[in-house]
Homo-oligomer: A and B are copies of this chain.
Amino acid sequence: MANHVYKIIELAGTSPNSIEDAINNAVEKASETVKNMRWFEVQETRGHIEKGKVQHWQVIIKVGFTIED
């Protein structure tokens, strides 16, 4: 196995639907410019409230991707 090096970036995604959706939105948007993403890890789960209801979910994640040669 080669000595892989990963870079880790931090992203925040939002969704009106669910925590999982907020994470997926962040990952899919980032995949437009970042290749070889391998894993993520949730840092914080937050959200906005309007009129006494959760209006959207916001999740901050770290994402690791391999630096290719």
Contacts of A57 in B (CB 8 A): 20
Chain B: which residue is nearest A51 at the CB level? B31
In the complex, which of the residues B38, B45, B48, B67 contacts A48, with contact meaning CB atoms closer than 8 Å? B38
Question: What's the least CB distance linking A32 to chain B, in Å?
Answer: 8
Interchain CB contact under 8 A, B5 and A8: no
Question: What's the least CB distance linking A22 to chain B, in Å?
Answer: 8
Interchain CB contact under 8 A, A49 and B54: no
Alpha-carbon distance A52/B31, docked complex (angstroms): 5
* Interface residues as binary, A1-35 with B (CB distance below 8 Å gives 1, 0 otherwise): 10111111111111110111011111111110000
Q: A19-B20, A40-B46 are in contact. List 4 more A-B contacts (CB 8 A).
A: A1-B55, A5-B11, A30-B67, A40-B49
